[in-house]
Amino acid sequence: MRARLIESHEIAPEVRHFLFEAEGVARLDYRAGQFVSLSADCGGKAVTRAYSLASAPHADNRFELCLNRVEQGHISPKLFAMQPGDSIDMRPPLGMFVLRQPPREAVFIATGTGIAPFRAMLQADLTVESPAITLLFGVRYESHLMYRGEFTAMAETFPQFRFWPTLSRPELHWTGRAGHVQAHLDEALGGRRDVDIYLCGLKQMDDDVRAILKAQGFDRKQIFYEKYD
Ligand SMILES: Cc1cc2nc3c(=O)[nH]c(=O)nc-3n(C[C@H](O)[C@H](O)[C@H](O)COP(=O)(O)OP(=O)(O)OC[C@H]3O[C@@H](n4cnc5c(N)ncnc54)[C@H](O)[C@@H]3O)c2cc1C
């Protein structure tokens, strides 16, 4: 299968939002939270990388991704160089990082482009009847808060949804949360142990948060994670 780029635009420094279409299918079927695998030739070798689908399933063959460009990386710079109409090999969606059914109260914890599967889940699953969800989103600087307007609007529409951005390197004017996501975990949990935790981002955050939760007596079955590196 091939994915053809429709358009991409910058949403934060070194981060782009991509709109693709999957060629040869009328509809790309997947569950919010899953990923596609994209492959390209790198010096005569096929290199494949996974990318979380960043939107709820469309009614057609379109899908969205959110990517940061890894300096010296094999695939992400190639994706950043793609022009509308260019295409790349892809494998259909896969993955187990999806909302458990029936959904329970949850804390979503994302760093950087780890926000992508949560955007998909929230678009697909957040309704007036959803259980409470807190989205703890950690980035370095305010300009890196991708989709901030969308999450803010969701929090205004759905009172049970809390959007908590936190900056690890806040500028002087920032009056919101600061520090790593770990620093806000206890407050997000509010002493509760009967919530599900979903983590997505780089290994360091993932491992740190899981160690904290384990020390607090959380069951492994309540913790769902996707590691990007
Ligand atoms: C299930 C899954 C879903 C993913 N979804 C996304 C997504 O939605 N958006 C996204 O941007 N990435 C996502 N990734 C990461 C992605 O698959 C690639 O690892 C990333 O794009 C780097 O690939 P590359 O070929 O450009 O760099 P590589 O050639 O693999 O890496 C070059 C160097 O950069 C380091 N590195 C690798 N990844 C990162 C990173 N993300 N940040 C900083 N340094 C890194 C490596 O350790 C290596 O030393 C996902 C990974 C997995 C496993």
Nearest CA to ligand 1 atom 10: 67
Q: What is the pTM of this model?
A: 0.96
pLDDT tens readout for residues 107-136: 999 999 999 999 999 999 999 999 999 999
CB of 115 closer than 6 A to ligand 1?
no
Whether the Cβ atoms of residue 40 and residue 49 lie closer than 8 Å to each other: no
Report CA(62)–ligand 1 centroid distance (Å).
Answer: 22
pLDDT tens readout for residues 21-75: 999 999 999 999 999 999 999 989 999 999 999 999 999 999 999 999 999 999 9
Q: Is 105 helix (H, G, I), strand (E, B) or coil?
A: coil
pLDDT at residue number 146: 98
CB of 111 closer than 6 A to ligand 1?
no
CB of 113 closer than 6 A to ligand 1?
yes
pLDDT at residue number 218: 94
pLDDT tens readout for residues 130-189: 999 999 999 999 999 999 999 999 999 999 999 999 999 999 999 999 999 999 999 999
DSSP 181-220: GGGGHHHHHTT--SSEEEEEE-HHHHHHHHHHHHHTT--G
CB of 81 closer than 6 A to ligand 1?
no
Report CA(173)–ligand 1 centroid distance (Å).
Answer: 31
pLDDT at residue number 116: 98
CB of 76 closer than 6 A to ligand 1?
yes
Q: Which of 17, 35, 49 has most ligand 1 atoms within 8 Å of its beta carbon, as the pocket-test mutant? A: 49
Cα angle, residue 164 at apex, residues 161 and 166 outer, rounded to 5°: 165
Pairing outcome for strands 15-22 and 35-42: unpaired
Spatial strand order of the sheet with 133-139 comes to 177-178, 161-167, 133-139, 106-111, 196-201, 223-227
pLDDT at residue number 70: 96
Nearest CA to ligand 1 atom 45: 70
The C-alpha atoms of residue 201 and residue 62 are separated, in whole angstroms, by 24
Nearest CA to ligand 1 atom 18: 49
Q: Output the CA–CA distances (angstroms, integers) from residue 28 to 14, 42, 88, 146, in the order listed.
A: 27, 27, 16, 24
CB of 49 closer than 6 A to ligand 1?
yes
Two tokens at 96? 């187990």
pLDDT at residue number 14: 96
Two tokens at 106? 């949850």
Nearest CA to ligand 1 atom 53: 228
pLDDT at residue number 73: 96
CB of 72 closer than 6 A to ligand 1?
yes
